[in-house]
Structure 1
Amino acid sequence: MSGSQIPRSNPDRVSSPTSSKSVTQTVNGSHQFVIQGYRLAKGMGVGKHIASDNFSVGGYQWGIFFYPDGKNPEDNSAYVSVFVALASEGTEVRALFELALVDQSGKGNHKVHSHFERSLDSGPYTLKYKGSMWGYKRFYRRTQLETSDFLKDDCLIINCTVGVVVSEVQCPRLHSIRVPDSELGSHFGVLLDSMEGSDVTFDIAGEKFQAHKLVLAARSPFFKSKFFNEPEANNREVTINNLEPKVFKALLQFMYKDSLPEDVEPVTAHTFDLLKLPEIYETLIVKLLAAADRYNLNRLRLLCESHICKGVSVKSVAKILALADRYKATELKDVCLKFTAENLAAVLETDAYQQLKDECLSLQSELLKAVAGYEEASNSTGGAKSQSVWAQLSDGGGDTSSRHVRQRTT
């Protein structure tokens, strides 16, 4: 073969044809927004709204905005307005939406505005930035709403469905390998149960616990320093005072398994309502929170804060705020301050708040800031409102006969 000749391809060696497919579809999710106390929300002003909690669909955050007096000043409060808004930062989203006012008579005659299951000339709606909205300024005439089956016991129910448009290219995969979930926690759990290879024994109020220095040092800066930087680092037995055996056992279970132990008490919205603060300090979850603070276990601290947070209520929030402040539980403390600001009048009536006011004076300024921030976010007036709030915080607020739990508004 000369150098100028190009070799012919082998007709017996033909590449297999390939293929791919672009699939565009929606990731759907729904949220129900219950508005209790509709008649109290009336009169808040045109353009003022009540917002739902944020909810997640398709990897984005969304919120429902209800305007009792309407969003459009030109309508002179003749209509209620309802919108769904993008609550995620710095992104552009294409989506389909449905807003439905629920017929509470059971007849199923819901008021529905929907993109789904109908032709869209211009395609899905595009929201280009946080705060972008889709909805209806004239969602329903207010006089008709107030005599309809949509309003029952002063309550409205709005169902919202969001369908986020996503596209992906699919291509066939001839082979795949499934990777199982991590078994690290279960393996370390076996190590905790068997204590094979343990090299340190803890004496906790006379009860012995075996452990592995490397495991504890990897989990806690306190134990890392104790086992490798202090003079008694080579000691095979360590005595810890001021800690109950059941708390240390739970502490070990977290450090080996990375989860709260099963014997931690379940917490509901009313778990702490009837307990006095000293009794709350005696619960295992709060003692674990104290241990997390003592041994610098940040993840355990957050797990405990999240667990205790389930018990925040009007009657308990002042007590939980006090313990959060004591154990540097910043996330839990922020939740308590925000909850108190949102429900200030009702919280001020509680005995727990009066005790907090007398015993934790340092929290008063933080609470005032939280209330002021909440009022500002609620588009309240400035100086006069702040003075009124300060009076309530400083002396209990005078007449409390008309206090009630406030709806969250923004």
Structure 2
Amino acid sequence: MPSPLGSPTSSRSVTQTVNGSHRFTIKGYSLAKGMGVGKHIASESFTVGGYQWAIYFYPDGKNPEDHSTYVSVFVALASEGTDVRALFELTLLDQSGKGKHKVHSHFDRALESGPYTLKYRGSMWGYKRFFRRAMLETSDFLKDDCLKINCTVGVVVSETDCPRLHSIQVPESDIGSHFGILLENEEGSDITFNVFGEKFHAHKLVLAARSPVFEAEFSDRMEDDNEIVVTDMEPKVFKALLHFIYRDSLIDDEEFVGTSSSSMPSVSDALAAKLLAAADKYDLPRLRLMCESVLCKDISVNSVANILALADRHYAMDLKSVCLKFAAENLVGKFSVLFFCFSKFYVI
């Protein structure tokens, strides 16, 4: 007797877009105008669909032909990638409140021409003749010498979808919270740090696993010598250091919100700056990057020299690179600060 046919199976391919938007505000349009044909102002990079993107605004046009009477706007692939397929929309925002925005959209033409393919990093989509400059300067798109451009990117992704009867949601890792409780309860602690009279109880194995400096220090100590005196770090900084080691996150402290970079002397007093020094001392590269990220947000004309010196002192190479780039782009004519940058670091 023939065996019955097996149950039929099915699957389907789903192609869709992963969408994201970025708003680029250009203040000081009148000062940017005249920078030259082919010269652009770039937005901060933003992530959509696993790729980095950036908006390029050309106040004098992208090409030297007849486009010089127009402003040009493009969106560029800012990360490595080949044959990235995407849809785009560039919108010049009406600042009068009337909602009459100028929209250039590839989304509307997707059925006709399909997504646009970007072949490599630096590939761009946009318009050489985005808007005639003379009309732009008398329109509601320009207000208080400011333009606002919104960019939407839709990265095309495909996946095979098969029916699932059940699914189980896996929560985020909570190992940090468990180790944090271990630190707070002091249970099983076997090492004490005396930081200017304030005692911190910790666990050698945890510290040694996280920091090669702690590992070396513990291997050189006598077994019954269970107290270490710390004389080069404030208690609040050491507390933040332990918080990172156990929880893998920055401590929740209002001092991390900003370093008051408008006042140059305060930069070195900021908690992020002091914790950067601790990360350098104990060889904690992830903590170093976290502190660099915080300090990066406070770079300004007044603070860049001090932050640059701090980055160089503690081998914060990403922060140093950002400072040098900021100096090159924003301190033209401020010879004293530029001289400091060049004399200390030689090249930008």
Displacement of 1:366 in angstroms is: 5.1
User: Given the alignment of the two structures, is residue 180 of structure 1 paired with residue 171 of structure 2, yes or no?
Assistant: yes
Matching residue of 2:97: 106
Separation in 1, partners of 2:137, 2:200? 66
Matching residue of 1:240: 230
Give the letter for the 2:313 counterpart: R
User: Given the alignment of the two structures, is residue 253 of structure 1 paired with residue 262 of structure 2, yes or no?
Assistant: no
Displacement of 1:266 in angstroms is: 3.0
Matching residue of 1:62: 53
Displacement of 1:265 in angstroms is: 0.5
Matching residue of 1:293: 280
Matching residue of 1:85: 76
The 1:280/1:76 distance shift into structure 2, 3 A limit, reads closer
CA-to-partner distance for each residue in 1:156-178, whole Å, 9 max, x for gaps? 22211111111111101123222
**Equivalent residues in 2 for 1:335-350, closer than 5 Å:** 335-345=322-332, 348=335
Separation in 2, partners of 1:125, 1:280? 46
Matching residue of 1:266: 256
CA-to-partner distance for each residue in 1:229-254, whole Å, 9 max, x for gaps? x1525522223333333322222222
User: Given the alignment of the two structures, is residue 217 of structure 1 paired with residue 208 of structure 2, yes or no?
Assistant: yes
Report sequence identity in percent: 67
Q: For the Cα contact (< 8 Å) 2:87–2:110, is it kept in 1?
A: no
Q: For the Cα contact (< 8 Å) 1:267–1:308, is it kept in 2?
A: no
Q: For the Cα contact (< 8 Å) 2:67–2:128, is it kept in 1?
A: no
**Equivalent residues in 2 for 1:247-396, closer than 5 Å:** 247-263=237-253, 265-268=255-258, 271-274=260-263, 276=265, 279-345=266-332, 348=335, 353=337, 363-365=341-343, 369-370=347-348
Displacement of 1:194 in angstroms is: 1.2
Give the letter for the 2:197 counterpart: G
Give the letter for the 2:257 counterpart: V
The 1:367/1:259 distance shift into structure 2, 3 A limit, reads same
Count of residues in Structure 1 that have an aligned counterpart in Structure 2: 348
Displacement of 1:120 in angstroms is: 3.5
Structure 1 counterpart SS, 2:228: strand
TM-score by length of 1: 0.78
Separation in 2, partners of 1:264, 1:291? 19
The 1:75/1:120 distance shift into structure 2, 3 A limit, reads farther
Structure 1 counterpart SS, 2:276: helix
CA-to-partner distance for each residue in 1:239-293, whole Å, 9 max, x for gaps? 333333332222222211111222350333x7122252xx443333322222222
Displacement of 1:187 in angstroms is: 0.6
User: Given the alignment of the two structures, is residue 196 of structure 1 paired with residue 150 of structure 2, yes or no?
Assistant: no
Q: For the Cα contact (< 8 Å) 1:264–1:284, is it kept in 2?
A: no
1:128 to 119, 127, 137: 119
The 1:214/1:286 distance shift into structure 2, 3 A limit, reads same
Matching residue of 1:145: 136
Q: For the Cα contact (< 8 Å) 2:276–2:292, is it kept in 1?
A: yes
The 1:46/1:345 distance shift into structure 2, 3 A limit, reads closer
Separation in 2, partners of 1:336, 1:151? 31
User: Given the alignment of the two structures, is residue 9 of structure 1 paired with residue 41 of structure 2, yes or no?
Assistant: no
Give the letter for the 1:323 counterpart: L
Separation in 1, partners of 2:215, 2:110? 64
Structure 2 counterpart SS, 1:29: strand
Q: For the Cα contact (< 8 Å) 2:264–2:302, is it kept in 1?
A: no
Q: For the Cα contact (< 8 Å) 2:74–2:127, is it kept in 1?
A: yes
Displacement of 1:347 in angstroms is: 5.3
Separation in 2, partners of 1:263, 1:76? 51
Separation in 2, partners of 1:255, 1:76? 56
Q: Which of 1 and 2 has greater Rg?
A: 1
User: Given the alignment of the two structures, is residue 205 of structure 1 paired with residue 176 of structure 2, yes or no?
Assistant: no
Q: For the Cα contact (< 8 Å) 1:100–1:113, is it kept in 2?
A: yes
Structure 1 counterpart SS, 2:256: coil
Displacement of 1:126 in angstroms is: 1.5
Q: For the Cα contact (< 8 Å) 1:51–1:66, is it kept in 2?
A: yes
Separation in 2, partners of 1:235, 1:320? 38
Q: For the Cα contact (< 8 Å) 1:226–1:233, is it kept in 2?
A: no
The 1:211/1:27 distance shift into structure 2, 3 A limit, reads same
Over the aligned positions, Cα root-mean-square deviation in angstroms equals: 2.3
**Unaligned stretches of 5+ in structure 1?**
1-7, 371-410
Q: For the Cα contact (< 8 Å) 2:83–2:119, is it kept in 1?
A: yes
Give the letter for the 1:238 counterpart: I
Q: For the Cα contact (< 8 Å) 1:22–1:167, is it kept in 2?
A: yes
CA-to-partner distance for each residue in 1:317-363, whole Å, 9 max, x for gaps? 112222222222222222211111111147557xxx49xx6xxx6x5
**Unaligned stretches of 5+ in structure 2?**
none
Matching residue of 1:38: 29
Structure 2 counterpart SS, 1:77: helix
